[in-house]
Every structure is written in C-alpha cells, then in structure tokens.
A and B are shown apart, each in its own frame.
Chain A
Amino acid sequence: MTKIFTMIALFVCSLLSAQTLYEKGMGNALTVWKSGKSAEASALFERIATVEKNNWLPNYYVAFINTVEAFKAEDKAKIPAYLDKAQKALDEAAIISPNNAEIMVVQAMIYTGWIVQDPMTNGMKYSNKAMEQYYKAQVIAPNNPRVVSCKAEFEIGGAQWTGADVKSLCKDMERAIKLYADFKPESPFHPTWGLERAQENLKSCSK
C-alpha cells in the first residue's frame, strides 16, 4: 500500500515539476528569442520539443524562427538550410496537430521563402502551394488575424505579377489589425505575433 502511494506521489510530483519545467522553458525560450538570439531560442525550443512529444508548440516555434531567419539571411546560399530545418520541425508539429491554421500560415511562409530563394525556378510552383495553404487556413480559422494578414501580405507581394486588387487587400489588412486586438491566445505560449508587421504593411498601403 505504502509502495503504491509513494509511486503515485512520485508520479504526480514528476508531472507537476514537468509542468513547471515546460512553462519555465517556453517562457525562457520566448524571452531569449525576443532578445534577438534566434539560434539560441531555436535550440531551446528544439530541446523542449524532444520532451513535449504531444505538444505542437515547441516544433511550431522551431519552424517559425528558422523561417524568419531564412527571410533575414544575407547569404542566399544559407536559405535552403533554414527552410529545410523549418520544414522538418513543422512536419512534426503538423503530425501532432493536424488541420491547424497557425501551422498552415507558417507552411505558407516556408513556401514563400523558397520563392524568395529562387523566384524563376520556384515562383510558379510555390506561389500556388502557398495560396493553397492560405485558402485551407481561411476555411478553418477565417478570423485568425495571422491568416488574414499574412494572406493579404502575400497577395500584395504578388500583385505586380498577378494584377490582384491591392485596395481590397489593404482592407483585409485593416480588418486583420482589428482582429489582432480581439485575439485571445489559448495559452500564454500560443502564437500572438504579427500585429506590428500588419501595421507596417498597412502604412505602405496608404502610400
């Protein structure tokens, strides 16, 4: 009896401490990332992902951080390495949480990264793939601000080739900014990013 009790106690303890470790780890990783140390933040999320096998968030952040790094990369030759890493992590996240609009947004961003890397080769193919992700995401979460703003940004980016109506896209951007104000993440660690970028995009809209 005592044995069983001790074991239950130990189990509950480990759960409790794991919970705190997760929260501490995620909080820490997000802080490190905000301070601009993206490689380190990516490493931290990667470690959390190996423990939290049923949680899509750590892998999501590994994917998101590396995608953003790909866009920032000054050396274009490095882009594929970042995007490959992002894709691998995002695949893991998508297995844990299928039909997730947040994951689809990052997937579309990875495709956009490939377009940036080599527009002549990848433009046609990946712009269709990216749009497909945005359409899917729109069906699942029509009022998710990231879905609305990222889709609009992508379409504005391609407008010079596609002749898309920029005015109505700018209205979408406006709507997204309102949606950001009302957006309530499920937990403190769920994605909340995108407002600043949407505001910047709206500014260039009015130019």
Chain B
Amino acid sequence: MKTNLQAFLTANRLVFTLCVFLFPAAVFSQTTISGKVTDQKNNPLAGVNIYIEGTYDGATTTETGDFSFETTTTGNQVMVVSYLAFETLNLPVVIENYQSQTIKLKASVNTLDAVYISAGTFEAGEKARVSVLKPLDIVTTAGSAGDIVGALQTLPGTQTVGESGRLFVRGGESDETQTFVDGLRVAQPYGASANNLPTRGRFSPFLFSGISFSTGGYSAEYGDALSSVLLLNTIEEPEQEQTDISLMTVGLGLGNTQKWNKSSLSVNVAYIDLSPYQAAIPQNVKWNRPFQSLSGETVYRYKFNSGMLKMYAAFDGSRFDLNQESINAPFVSRVDLKNNNFYYNASYKGKFGSNWQIISGLSYGLGDTKTKVDTDRISSTEHSSHLKLKLKKSFSDRVKVSFGGDYFITKYDEDFNKEFGSGYDSNIGAVYGEADIFFSKEFAAKAGVRISNNDLLHQTAVSPRASLAYKVSGSSQLSLAYGIFEQAPKQDYLKYNDRFENEKASHYILNYQYTADKRTLRAELYYKKYNDLVKYDTDMAMYNSNFANDGFGYAKGLDLFWRDGKSVKFLEYWLSYSYIDSKRDYRNYVSEVTPGFIAKQNISLVGKYFILDWKSQVGISHSFNTGRPYNDPNQTQFMSRKTKTYNNLSVNWAYLLTQQKILYFSISNVMGTKNIYNYEYSNTPDAEGVYSRRAITPSADRFFFVGFFWTISQDKKKNQLDNL
C-alpha cells in the first residue's frame, strides 16, 4: 500500500518535473506574426481581432492598423481576422512561412446601412431593413378599420376605389394583384360582396408579423400577377400566452394563444353582425338582412432544431340580403348572398447541408358562393391549390442563388338556375431561378427568370426579371427594376372561354430612397406597358361574347412617400402622393381611354399622436383624389366625363382604461362629404332623348365604430392596441 502511494507520488513529481522542462521548451519555439489591417480603401482599421484559431495567440490592431503577436503553434493554421460590421476572414497560413502582410477586410453586406433592392417594394414589419409601415400601422391607421388592405391603400401607387375596397395598383385592376400567405397563394383574398359594395381582406392583422407589398418589378419567385404581389407572413413565435376579448358595436371577437416548449397555437374567432348598427344609423341602401359573418383563423407552429413548420387555416361564412337599385330596372332587385370560404396552408422552412435553405408547402382554398337575384339562383364553387418548393443556397454573404417550382390547380364551376353551367379547370406549372449578388456594400443586383406553362391555354411563358441597386450616399440609394409579367385572363372570362393567351405587362421602375433617423423619403418613376389584354364585343362578358386578346394599354407615373417620426415628439405621420397617366383599350372599350377606376392624382395623409397624459393615441387620415372618368352616353366622346373630387377624413381615438383594457372610437368621413364613385346610365334614352343616370355612392356617408378590447395575459401589460 505504502509503496503504491510512494510510486504514485514519485510519478506525480516526475510529471511536474517533466512539465517544467516541456513547457518552456514550447515557449522557446515562438514565431512572430505581424502585419496591418485596412479596409478596401486602404484606411487602417483599429481594434481588429486577429488570432490563430483554437489558441490564445492573437492581438488587437493599433490605431495605425498594425498588429504583432507571438505564437507557439507550427505548421498549417487558420488565422482569424474579425471586426465589427466587417466580414470575418479565415486565412489559412503556414506559421513557419508567414510573412508580414497587409490584410484587407470587406465591409459586411449584412448591416443596416448596406444597399438593398428597393424598387417597387414596400416592407412592413420588424424584419424589414427599411420599414415603410410598422407592424402597428396596419391597425392604428384611421379609416383602415383593421383591414390590412385598408392600410395599404394609404401607400402611393394604389387607387382608392371605394365601391370595391380591393387593391388597385398602378393602373391595374384588382385581380392583377396576387396574395400569398407564408409564400403560398390565396386564391380568394377578399370577402364576398355585392355590386358596388366594398369588401375587406380576409386576414386579421393580428396573426401576421411581416408584410411586403410590391407595386411592381417583383421577384421571379412570384408569377401570374400583372401588377403586384402582396406577401403576408404569419408570426413565427408569439410573445406570450394570452386571451383577447373584443366587444364592438359590430360584433364580438375572441382570441387565445397557447405556447409550449417547441410549439404554439393561436386561435381567433369573430362574429360580425351589422343589424344593430344599421338599424341605428340611416343607410343609403335598403338591407333586408344586414351583413353577418362568422369567421375563425388558427395558426399552429412547431419549431424543429433547424426549421419551422407552420399551419394556417381560416374559415369564413357570411351572408347578407339587400335591395339593389339599378337605373335600368323599374323595380329594385333583391340580392341574397351566402358565402363560405375555407383556406388552409402548411409550410416548412428550414436549413440543411452547408448554407442551404428549403421552403416548401401547399395550400388549398375553397370558395362557395350562393347568390339569389330575385328569382334567379347563381352558385359558384372554386377549388384552388398551390404546391411550392424553393431552395436557396448561400455561397457567401455576397452571392445567393434560389430556384424552385410552383404548381397551381384551379377548378371553377358556376351554375345559373341549374340550367346553364360554366367553368374551367386550369393547371399552371412554373419553375424559376434567381441570383442575388452584392458586388460591394454599395452595389447589388438581382436577376432571375420564370418559366410557366398553363395547360388550359396551352401556353408557355418566359418572364425575365432584373433589378439593380446602388448606394449614392450613406443615407440614399437608387434602384432600377425591369420585368415581364404574365397572367391568365380573369375568372369572369375564363369561365366562358379558354381560347385565350396570357395577358402581359412589362415594368420599368426607377426608385430613389432616402432614409435617415426615423425619416424616409421614396420617389418612384415607373412605366408599365400592357399587351394582349382581353377584349369582347358585348355589354358584359357573356357565354356568347366574341373574345379576343388584342387589347393594350399603358400606365406611367410618379409615386412619392414621406414618413417622419422625428420632427415632433410622439407624432408619426406619412404623406403619399401618386400621379398616374394610364390608358387602356380592353374589355368592350371603343378606344384607348383612362378606365373608370383611375384617378390622376391620389393623396393620403396619415398621422398618429400619442398623448401620454391622456393615455391615448389619436389618429387621423385624409385621402383625396381627383375625379375619376366615366362614360356619359349623352356625350359623343367615350369616357370623357369626370366625377367630382373625392375626400375622406377619418379619425380614431384609442384610450387605455387600464393597461389591458382599451376603449376605441373611430369615425370615417367625419366631414360627411357626399362622395360619388361613379355613375350608372340607362341603356336607352328617355322621351327627350336623354340618358338618365344614377350616382353610385357609399352605402352610408359616415361609419361609426366603438369597441372595447380586453387582454388577459401573464405580464399584465400586453394589450390589443395592435389589433385596432
């Protein structure tokens, strides 16, 4: 026993003795590594960290960019050069052969002040580098009434088309915009509506964290949209478990979010019934059954180690019944509409291999509408699916390539009094590839191509896209975008005929953007050329119309946007101005004229002011546009008259009763301006040879809204301000 211990002690002493000899031995074989670090313009960089990977041997550069340190390593090593806001360099070196050298570092392109492609696109949300709209804006914009589309209509490039409520972008019709949730198409983004009554987007802003709205020149990843894409992304990770209760003059809402270790679930239901409201406030329209809807949305998210699965489902059932006037009918016609809509999508986004990213998913939408017009019954059903696969490879911070494919399936059936049926089945397959290249922190380019095949039209289309961005100074940049965009003719035509070609548009965009601390200025000039638009020879597109693809048109203009959150404390405001010159010869037009939904000038001013002492946020928004053209058959010239200007001033006030209870008031069109959207003329002249007319106006001049919102959550702080 004792000997063992002695042996151990001896061994131990030996170890120490050896160490004493071995360690200094290592110290003696030191090599000096020295040099200088500069940026691309040869300016010395101070404070750069340089070291041999996996060792303590290293140094920090001095004011002159010089460094020098000693290393005990030998042979092949990796020298790491790292500096804040610059790309980290891993230099392979052979220690014995190392010669003093000057190392040039490249500025990182992943920084906020790097150039980015800005032509055409408005970003909203926290991930955006330059956020034109902030997450809260969607919902606190007066007059938007929590409608995502309503808030986007305060941006330049959009038209206020009050009788529709949909997005009309740069001279394009509303169906020239495609909507995507988590990258997957939503074929029916709007709620059902009758003639000349505005609709809303289906999505509650509550579940979305990022919105990207392109008014042209968008990526090759998206197709079958002539004018615009609206990309909505659901929240990746809810902040906390909470329950939201809403009591409104128009209905009730209930929301709940649950969080687990790796997954979370949000459910949101709303019941809207406009009867009490419309009983109290006089309406310009006779409602037999005011608008009523039950809707629900749910998102489930599961986080894997290197990816995320999201499932989104929405259901919406709505109905209304009203008497619709027409100048051409002696009696009102009764319109009774019931609409059921279901949408589901599942998407997976993950990383694999060396810097690969995969995004894949599928969506399915079912739209079912039953309309009774007096004794006629029209029912329509649309099934639409989208399958998507996208792969993205980052070769470096500077070069990224993505490619993928889409498959869209649409089946539409319509039936009139069970006598006449119309409809179509369409399958569109598409592949695309795109490259993102940063030449420097100041200069970037994106180029891609999309090839799609529509089996219904037997047509293959090749659409090239390209954009460039150049940083002019620290806070401003110029971007250019070009692209060809194709889209199958709309449902109203396809259901009667399939001997069509795609409609085409080419976009040319020049964008200037200035961003400094809380201030943004955007100016965009664009030119858009339309070809192969659908024409027909009847009053309305019908089963017996003669269709042709020989329509054409153009849109050109200037969009200005100014946002300022700096000049006045607690005040945020933005101003949008659009000038557009656009003409088209399409539909049943007799010549190339400006269509009825286009006003030459649109102005929106939105302001929000937080009054701390009142625990209140007040907001106003004013939209103005010049008159819109309409056709007066009493005139010899087609579409030669214009409506009077349009004005709408809306205000809202959110008052925090307690931290989690909010009272909310809003009034749209406070001034009660009698707006006229358009005129409907009789088909035949009266006894004096005059065509009489009827003005198309909003269903009520003002809209009042009062709501009480209550949030129940763990930290007792979160409230529904962002739901308003």
Contacts and interface: CB of A to CB of B under 8 A. Distances in A.
B717 interface: yes
Given A12-B15, A128-B718, A129-B239, A17 B565 contact: no
B18 interface: yes
Contact of A40 (B47, B82, B517): B47
B14 interface: yes
B19 A17 contact: yes
A39 to B, nearest CB: 4
A201 interface: no
Interface in A45-60: 46-48, 50-51
B9 interface: no
A47 B135 contact: no
Given A10-B22, A127-B717, A51 B47 contact: no
A128 B714 CA distance: 10
A48 B131 contact: no
Contacts of B55: 47, 50-51
Interface in A169-191: none
A162 interface: yes
Interface in A82-140: 82, 84-85, 118, 120-122, 124-125, 127-129, 131-132, 135
B60 A121 contact: no
B85 A131 contact: no
Given A46-B49, A47-B51, A78 B85 contact: yes
B240 A128 contact: yes
A13 B717 contact: no
Nearest to A32: B60
A120 B565 contact: yes
Interface string A10-26: 10110011000100010
A163 B658 contact: yes
A206 interface: no
B49 A48 contact: no
Contacts of A160: 612
A132 B259 CA distance: 12
A51 B54 contact: yes
A4 interface: no
Interface string B669-700: 00000000000000000000000000000000
A51 B113 CA distance: 33
A16 B12 CA distance: 13
Contact of B85 (A76, A81, A128): A81
A131 B18 CA distance: 54
Given A43-B49, A121-B126, A124-B135, A25 B19 contact: no
Nearest to A85: B84
A80 B612 CA distance: 28
B397 interface: no
A132 B240 contact: yes
Interface in B598-655: 612, 615
A77 interface: yes
Contacts of B49: 42-43, 46-47
B715 A131 contact: yes
Contacts of A47: 49, 51, 55-58
A43 B47 CA distance: 8
Given A51-B55, A77-B113, A120-B565, A131 B717 contact: yes
B659 A163 contact: yes
B370 interface: no
Interface string B52-90: 011111101000000000000000000010101100000
B134 interface: yes
Contacts of B113: 77
Contact of B112 (A9, A44, A80): A80
Interface string B1-31: 0000000000000110011001100100000
B15 A9 contact: yes
A10 B26 CA distance: 12
A12 B714 CA distance: 52
Interface string B486-520: 00000000000000000000000000000001100
Given A10-B22, A121-B135, A132-B239, A80 B60 contact: no
Given A25-B56, A121-B131, A77 B565 contact: no
A129 B126 CA distance: 14
Given A132-B239, A162-B717, A77 B23 contact: no
Contact of B572 (A21, A46, A80, A120): A120
B46 to A, nearest CB: 8
A39 B49 CA distance: 9
Contacts of A163: 615, 658-659
A70 B111 CA distance: 15
A85 B565 CA distance: 28
Interface in B225-240: 239-240
A80 B658 CA distance: 34
A39 B60 contact: yes
A13 B19 contact: yes
Nearest to A53: B54
Given A39-B60, A135-B714, A163-B659, A17 B23 contact: yes
Interface of A: 6, 9-10, 12-13, 16-17, 21, 25, 39-40, 42-44, 46-48, 50-51, 76-78, 80-82, 84-85, 118, 120-122, 124-125, 127-129, 131-132, 135, 158, 160, 162-164
30 contacts: A9-B15, A9-B19, A10-B18, A12-B15, A13-B19, A17-B26, A39-B60, A42-B49, A43-B47, A43-B49, A43-B51, A43-B58, A46-B82, A47-B58, A48-B56, A50-B53, A51-B54, A80-B111, A81-B111, A120-B572, A121-B134, A121-B135, A124-B136, A125-B135, A128-B718, A131-B715, A131-B717, A163-B615, A163-B658, A164-B717
Given A47-B56, A81-B85, 8 more contacts: A6-B18, A39-B84, A51-B54, A76-B517, A77-B112, A121-B126, A124-B722, A127-B717
